[in-house]
């Protein structure tokens, strides 16, 4: 089904409608675009849809012209395009150069921007990294990005990462003709819905890790879970950064009047927004629970250290008694109590044993031993 042919070389340069704009590279962005695998093509799939039906395959360079002529739209799926490749495609589709730059360098926060009559949306994707046992260095949540360019007759998805699942999404969406009939905005909705549903699955899997850590922290055995707790909290932060900022873009799509988003699509985006809010609250609750568990683990560690110090102090006090008495008699003075008495030695041992037992009983009664 997928057309994996790489499009021919195209002239590179700024769109005549949008002169080039120079701006600083976003904080945290790499100096160059991410390199995709050598065996991967930039065009994952390209298809024209008319009245909800996928049309006969057309070359990517002719897809937009065909879609406009037939009154449909083209869905072009890209995988980690280079700056040159995306700039060429941007010229053909009239994409704004600022949006093209964001799509190439990635590392953007979820957002929705409008350029004239087109939309550009950034969504963070997430996947749960399975592991046999959570350690202080385990990778739990892996994130990627999906950018969506939306116009009157086109939708372009740009994928960064290996876990967005857009190929399966396209197949499922092609089985929903009524939804595809609503135009390119239906693809944006399907992508956003898939991303949010994945967040729900990841949050559920992380919940299992949190439950395991909670049981370990409050188990009768002494465990050192601080490193694992901090690592999971750190990994959860990546999921929070993906989920939290998504609410505002979805709210705009659900409430604002946007030319390329039909009124019939607003209820769909409102549903996705509701799911995003719920998973945001779930992730926030997990983060707060981890903070509480971390504090409990620190308090339990401090309590265990105090118990150890009490035991050490108690035994030191017990040992001090025979040490002091033996030290006194070890000074070898001529005039010492009961020095010439036949039963002096066993009496001294009995006195030492009695004091030691009394001290032990006292410390035991007070919970020091």
The verdict on residue 34 lying in a domain is: no
How many domains are contained in the chain?
A: 2
The pLDDT of residue 17 = 42
Q: Are residues 199 and 172 in the same domain?
A: yes
pLDDT at position 108 is 84
> DSSP class of residue 264?
G
* Alpha carbons within 13 A on the beta-carbon side of 264: 9
Q: Name residues whose C-beta falls within 8 Å of residue 142's C-beta, 6 or more positions apart in sequence.
A: 126, 127, 129, 161, 163
Calpha distance 87→85 (Å, rounded): 6
Answer yes or no: do 112 and 198 share one domain: yes
List the one residue out of 285, 89, 282, 93 whose CA is nearest residue 202: 282
Find the CATH number of the domain harbouring 316.
1.20.58.340
Residue 30 domain-assigned (yes or no) = no
> Minimal CA–CA distance to 293: which of 211, 220, 234?
211
* pLDDT at position 209: 92
Specify whether 218 is located in the same domain as 322.
no
Instruction: Tell me the per-residue pLDDT of 128-144, one tens digit each, with 9 for 90 and over.
Output: 999 888 888 889 999 88
Q: Domain check: are 138 and 276 in the same one?
A: yes
- What pLDDT, on a 0 to 100 scale, did the predictor assign at position 40? 55
Helix axes 266-329, 226-243, angle to 10 degrees: 160
pLDDT at residue 51 in the model: 93
Q: Do the Cβ atoms of 275 and 194 come closer than 8 Å?
A: no
Residues 324 and 277 in one domain: no
**Quick one: pLDDT at residue 15?**
39
DSSP element (H, E) containing 155: strand 154-160
DSSP string, 189-249: HHHHHHHHHHHHHHHHHHHHHHHHHHHHHTSSS----HHHHHHHHHHHHHHHHHHGGGHHH
Shared domain check, 205 and 84: yes
| pLDDT recorded at residue 331 | 67
Residues 109 and 48 in one domain: yes
Same domain, 286 and 326: no
Residues of the chain with pLDDT under 50: 1-34, 38-39
Dihedral, CA of residue 159, residue 163, residue 168 and residue 169, to nearest 10: -60
Which of 301, 322, 337 lies at the terminal end of a domain, its last residue?
301
Strand order in the sheet with 43-50: 53-54, 43-50, 73-79, 154-160, 141-150, 118-128, 111-115
Bin 261: left if φ > 0, else alpha if -120 < ψ < 50, else beta: beta
Q: Are residues 220 and 338 in the same domain?
A: no
The answer on 284 and 322 residing in a single domain is no
Average pLDDT score, the chain: 82
CA angle 197, 256, 166 (to 5 degrees): 30
Residue at 125 is within a domain: yes
User: Do residues 276 and 225 make contact, with C-beta atoms less than 8 angstroms apart?
Assistant: no
Domain boundary among 284, 301, 318: 301
Q: Give the residue from 283, 301, 319 where a domain finishes.
A: 301
- Domain of 268, CATH number, reads 3.30.460.20
Same domain, yes or no, for 221 and 144?
A: yes
Residue 298 has what pLDDT?
Answer: 81
- 144 and 191 assigned to the same domain: yes
| Residue numbers of the domain that contains 239 | 43-301
């Amino acid at each position: 089904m997928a057309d994996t042919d790489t499009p021919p070389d195209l002239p590179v340069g700024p769109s005549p409608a949008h002169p080039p704009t120079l701006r600083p590279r976003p904080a945290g962005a790499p100096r160059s675009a991410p390199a995709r695998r050598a065996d991967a093509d930039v065009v994952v799939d390209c298809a024209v849809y008319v009245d909800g039906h996928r049309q006969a395959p057309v070359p990517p360079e002719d897809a937009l012209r065909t879609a406009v002529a037939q009154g449909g739209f083209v869905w072009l799926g890209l995988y980690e395009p280079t700056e040159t490749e995306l700039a060429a495609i941007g010229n053909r589709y009239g994409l704004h150069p600022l949006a093209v730059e964001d799509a190439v360098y990635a590392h953007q926060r979820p957002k929705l921007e409008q350029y004239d009559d087109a939309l550009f949306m950034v969504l963070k994707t997430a996947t749960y990294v399975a592991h046999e046992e959570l350690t202080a260095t385990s990778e739990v949540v892996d994130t990627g990005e999906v950018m969506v360019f939306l116009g009157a007759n086109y939708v372009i998805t740009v994928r960064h990462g290996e876990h967005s699942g857009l190929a399966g999404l396209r197949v499922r969406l092609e089985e929903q003709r009524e939804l595809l009939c609503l135009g390119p905005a239906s693809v944006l909705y399907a992508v956003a819905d898939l991303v949010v549903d994945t967040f729900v699955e990841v949050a559920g899997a992380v919940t299992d890790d949190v439950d395991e850590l909670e049981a370990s922290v409050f188990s009768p055995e002494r465990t050192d879970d601080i490193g694992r707790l901090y690592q999971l909290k750190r990994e959860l932060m990546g999921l929070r950064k993906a989920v939290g900022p998504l609410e505002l873009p979805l709210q705009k799509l659900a409430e604002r009047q946007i030319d390329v988003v039909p009124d019939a699509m607003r209820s769909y985006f409102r549903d996705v927004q509701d799911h995003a809010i719920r998973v945001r609250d779930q992730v926030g609750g997990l983060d707060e629970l981890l903070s509480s568990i971390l504090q409990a683990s620190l308090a339990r560690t401090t309590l265990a250290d105090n118990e150890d110090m009490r035991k050490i102090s108690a035994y030191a006090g017990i040992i001090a008694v025979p040490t002091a008495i033996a030290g006194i008699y070890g000074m070898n003075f001529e005039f010492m109590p009961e020095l010439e008495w036949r039963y002096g030695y066993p009496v001294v041992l009995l006195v030492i044993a009695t004091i030691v037992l009394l001290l032990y009983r006292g410390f035991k009664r007070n919970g020091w031993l």
